[in-house]
């Protein structure tokens, strides 16, 4: 597993590359896993000209990552990547706090803890231990604090 230091908007992050296959990249930042895809290749720098009317070289697009399991506007906690539910650490009716571990998904021989994106009450558990899940699949439904 390769590690990189990445600077985004002036803030530096330690990024660990988990896998790269068929244009899809799985990486982790701060213990949270992300899945992204490569939209285009980075173009080499174009030679510059001294003409004032010269246009800048084309800008390549960089991949964007999304934390699919963290959406404060949704009541569902979703899987960030495909894998197998290794352990469920909550139960229906349980009061949970922001960032509390809800379940663990095993993907590519690594265990990834899925944490609560907001405080609330577990209203429904939509998966079972040992069940295979797909990326963006709803795992747990939360309701507002009781």
Has residue 70 got a pLDDT over 70? no
pTM score: 0.51
- pLDDT 10s digits, 1-20: 688 887 777 788 788 877 77
pLDDT tens for residues 117-134? 889 999 999 999 999 999
Q: Which CATH code, of 1.10.580.10, 3.40.50.300, 2.40.50.100, 2.40.110.10, is assigned to 76-143?
A: 2.40.50.100
Taking phi over 0 as left and psi of -120 to 50 as alpha, with beta for the rest, 75 belongs to: alpha
Give the contacts of 55 (CB within 8 A, at least 6 positions apart).
Answer: none
Structural domain boundaries in the chain: 2-37, 76-143
Q: How high is the pLDDT of residue 64?
A: 42
Greater confidence, 70 or 94? Answer: 94
Average pLDDT, the chain: 78
Q: Where are the beta strands (DSSP E) in 40-134?
A: 76-78, 83-88, 95-96, 101-107, 110-115, 120-125, 132-133
């Amino acid at each position: 597993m390769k590690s990189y230091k990445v600077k985004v908007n002036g803030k530096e992050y330690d990024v660990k590359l988990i896998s790269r296959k068929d244009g899809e990249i799985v990486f982790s930042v701060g213990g949270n896993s992300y899945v992204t895809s490569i939209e285009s290749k980075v173009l080499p720098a174009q030679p510059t000209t001294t003409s004032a009317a010269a246009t800048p070289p084309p800008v390549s697009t960089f991949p964007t990552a999304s934390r699919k399991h963290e959406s404060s506007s949704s009541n569902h906690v979703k899987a960030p990547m495909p894998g197998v539910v290794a352990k469920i650490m909550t139960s229906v009716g349980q009061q949970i706090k922001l960032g509390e571990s809800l379940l663990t998904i095993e993907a590519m021989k690594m265990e990834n803890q899925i944490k609560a994106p907001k405080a609330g009450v577990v209203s429904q558990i939509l998966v079972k231990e040992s069940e295979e899940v797909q990326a963006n699949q709803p795992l747990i439904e939360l309701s507002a604090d009781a």
